[in-house]
């Protein structure tokens, strides 16, 4: 056993691969080097976790931090601050910034911007388009790249991959798992007339209906099988898709969002109006029940936030001029802890969905579990704490959350990243020191 440690975490209930255990964690050179009883006086720093549960670091694999180009909504500093305050230790950021992340230069720019400003570890998706399809096999291997992201719908400009021919071309170049936003662009255009001249926000799931999602998911599964490519279907919002995806688990992993697990139509639109608007939409209780059933039966592989902030002024525009998206990275863990407290999922399942699952899906190196040799990433929580989520707590530049006023049980008390205590008792500590996430399949920079 190592003679001296940089940090020892003591007296916590530790979520190891064996289950919850009472043991000490010894950390040296940013990694876990000891699990067991550690004698006093052997550490530079000690963390007393009495009464707390030490989870593997939560990984949010879908966020939009808006930098570069849209920094009035969010940037890498504010977005990662919110992540750390919410107990999240690593994030994967999406490519629909301005400019889009479509080449090495754009990826390198984001990595440079994050250095010394990001509070948590990070990786960035490469966007797929008809212009870079042939190069994606090389681009996905770059250090700091989380993989390739395909937008099949949502009118995302040059990132849109709407037709089957381009979709197949993208899927045939490369071998890492591809993240998919599955909404059928042709059906969206056909149905836009339902709302384009103005409508109540509760018509959002009518315009972007269940068939819009189902059609896209069926299409991408067929093409992925033809191309021999593994896919990861993001923010699945319908019970119908879950039944389909259950039959294709050999090639498809599945993400669900806290928003779709927690909010339901029509109530959310009555309470929040356009502030509940997102893509794909929050749907009715039948679909929420179907998502929970898929989560319990193992069809769902991970939970993301799809943190997509817009200012209050932007969200207050009349529908459908109002932009889609809600903040979520800071509330992901508290909201899911509350679901656990209410008996909707077990702690073991929550850990799988927020750390082990993301690591497995994306072949993350050295993260996702509390085990010897792994990065010393921990989300330290109080499972019994009763708190209220408020707009004032949010670090996002948007300054609001759809969960304002929600009373919950379970709260992140500390965020530890590679052995550094980044957040404790609601306060950020030290300086931003987030580093690029490493992957088994990508080119690794020299240490």
Where do we find the tokens 């490493």? 438
Longest dimension (CA), the chain: 70
Crossing angle between the packed helical segments 76-85 and 104-114, to the nearest 10 degrees: 60
Q: Is the peptide bond before 351 cis (omega within 30 degrees of 0)?
A: no
Per-residue b or e along 343-366, where b marks 16 or more CB atoms closer than 10 Å to that residue's CB: eebebebbbbbbbbbbbebbebbb
Task: Report cis status (omega within 30 of 0) of the bond before 111.
Answer: no
User: What DSSP line would sit under 200-269, residue for residue?
Assistant: -GGGHHHHT-HHHHHHHHHHHHHHHHHHT--EEE-S---HHHHHHHTT-TTTEEEEEEHHHHH--BTHHH
User: Annotated catalytic, 306?
Assistant: yes
* 315: phi then psi, degrees, rounded to nearest 5: -70, -25
Pairing mode, strands 378-388 and 302-304:
unpaired
Catalytic residue (one of 24, 60, 209, 306): 306
* Best CA proximity match to 61, nearest among 123, 145, 119: 123
Structure tokens at 388: 């209220």
Would you please indicate which residues are annotated as catalytic (active-site) residues?
A: 306
């Amino acid at each position: 056993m190592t003679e001296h440690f940089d940090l020892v975490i003591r007296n916590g209930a530790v979520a190891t691969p064996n289950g919850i255990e009472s043991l000490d964690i010894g950390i040296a050179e940013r990694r876990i080097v000891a699990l067991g009883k550690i004698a006093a006086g052997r550490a530079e720093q000690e963390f007393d976790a009495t009464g707390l549960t030490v989870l593997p670091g939560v990984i949010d694999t879908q966020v939009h931090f808006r930098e570069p180009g849209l920094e009035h909504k969010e940037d890498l500093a504010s977005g990662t601050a919110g992540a750390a305050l919410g107990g999240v230790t690593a994030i994967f950021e999406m490519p629909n910034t301005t400019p889009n992340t479509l080449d090495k230069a754009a990826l390198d720019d984001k990595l440079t911007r994050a250095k010394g400003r990001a509070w948590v570890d990070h990786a960035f998706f490469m966007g797929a388009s008809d212009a870079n399809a042939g190069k994606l096999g090389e681009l996905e291997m770059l250090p700091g790249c989380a993989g390739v992201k395909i937008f099949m719908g949502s009118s995302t400009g040059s990132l849109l991959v709407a037709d089957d021919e381009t979709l197949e071309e993208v899927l045939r170049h490369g071998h890492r798992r591809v993240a998919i936003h599955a909404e059928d662009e042709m059906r969206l255009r056909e149905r836009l007339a339902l709302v384009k001249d103005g409508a109540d926000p509760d018509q959002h799931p009518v315009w972007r209906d269940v068939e819009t999602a189902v059609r896209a998911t069926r299409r991408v599964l067929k093409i992925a099988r033809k191309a021999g490519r593994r896919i990861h279907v993001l923010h699945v919002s319908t019970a119908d898709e879950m039944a389909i995806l259950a039959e294709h688990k050999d090639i498809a992993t599945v993400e669900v969002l806290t928003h779709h697990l927690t909010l339901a139509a029509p109530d959310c639109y009555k309470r929040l109006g356009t502030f509940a608007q997102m893509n794909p939409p929050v749907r009715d209780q039948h679909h929420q029940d179907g998502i929970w059933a898929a989560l319990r039966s193992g069809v769902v592989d991970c939970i993301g936030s799809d943190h997509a902030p817009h200012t209050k002024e932007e969200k207050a525009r009349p529908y459908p001029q109002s932009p889609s998206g809600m903040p979520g990275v800071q509330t992901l863990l508290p909201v899911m802890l509350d679901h656990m407290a209410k008996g909707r999922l077990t702690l073991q399942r929550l850990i799988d969905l927020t750390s082990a699952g993301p690591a497995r899906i994306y072949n993350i190196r050295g993260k996702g579990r509390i085990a010897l040799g792994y990065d010393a990433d921990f989300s330290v929580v109080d499972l019994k704490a009763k708190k209220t989520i408020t707009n004032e707590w949010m670090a996002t530049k948007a300054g609001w959350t759809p969960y304002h006023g929600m009373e919950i049980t379970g709260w992140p008390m500390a965020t530890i990243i590679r052995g550094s205590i980044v957040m404790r008792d609601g306060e950020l500590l030290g300086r931003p020191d987030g580093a690029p996430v490493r992957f088994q399949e990508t080119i690794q920079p020299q240490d």
